[in-house]
Structure 1
């Protein structure tokens, strides 16, 4: 169950960050409100995950996957651009998350 909560926490964080960008500095309160609610849900779910998963691993997965998804959303929805090193950095983050999940026994305690 912690993995399901972690996935849902990641979605909450991605939704919150996307809405934060769309809020235009909280000048569009509907998006700002979505951002606040989504972050609240994300942090609550992450707090549940931290009962059974080490904080470093949980946060690495949460933030790493979130960075990858938010970057993709930034490219698709907001027309943001990355150069070669931007893509390389994102690939390294995703690779690190994969190593934690596939090779490390540190994910749960």
Structure 2
């Protein structure tokens, strides 16, 4: 069940971050409320996930998968370019998460 909470936390963080641009600097009420609610739900789900997943692993997955998804969403829906540097950065993030997971819980 902790990984279900972790996946929910990631999904809500991605949704909230995707809404960030539409808040126009938190000047638009409904997008702002949706964005902040998404972050709140994400953190609540993450807090439940760390009851059964080491906090370092949970946070690494939460931040890395969220970052990779936001780069993809930016490219697919917001017209942001995918560059070699972005691909290299995401690859390094993924390599870091894999390394953390291979390290186990010591």
Structure 1 residue aligned with 2:104: 105
Q: Which runs of 5+ in 1 are unaligned?
A: none
Partner SS, residue 16 of structure 2: helix
C-alpha distance in 2 between matches for 1:91 and 1:70? 14
C-alpha distance in 2 between matches for 1:76 and 1:14? 14
What TM-score results when the alignment is normalised by the length of structure 2?
Answer: 0.89
- Superposed displacement of residue 99, structure 1: 4.2
Cα offsets for 1:2-28 (capped at 9, x unmatched): 011000000010001111122121222
What TM-score results when the alignment is normalised by the length of structure 1?
Answer: 0.86
- Equivalent pair of 2:3/2:53 in contact (CA under 8 Å): no
Are 1:74 and 2:71 counterparts?
A: no
Report which stretch shifted further, 44-53 or 9-18: 44-53
- Equivalent pair of 1:23/1:31 in contact (CA under 8 Å): yes
Cα offsets for 1:68-104 (capped at 9, x unmatched): 0011111111111132111111122123334444x34
Cα offsets for 1:14-44 (capped at 9, x unmatched): 0011111221212222211110111111000
RMSD value, Cα: 1.7
Structure 2 residue aligned with 1:94: 94
C-alpha distance in 1 between matches for 2:68 and 2:6? 15
Q: Which runs of 5+ in 2 are unaligned?
A: none
The number of aligned residues is 106
C-alpha distance in 1 between matches for 2:90 and 2:45? 24
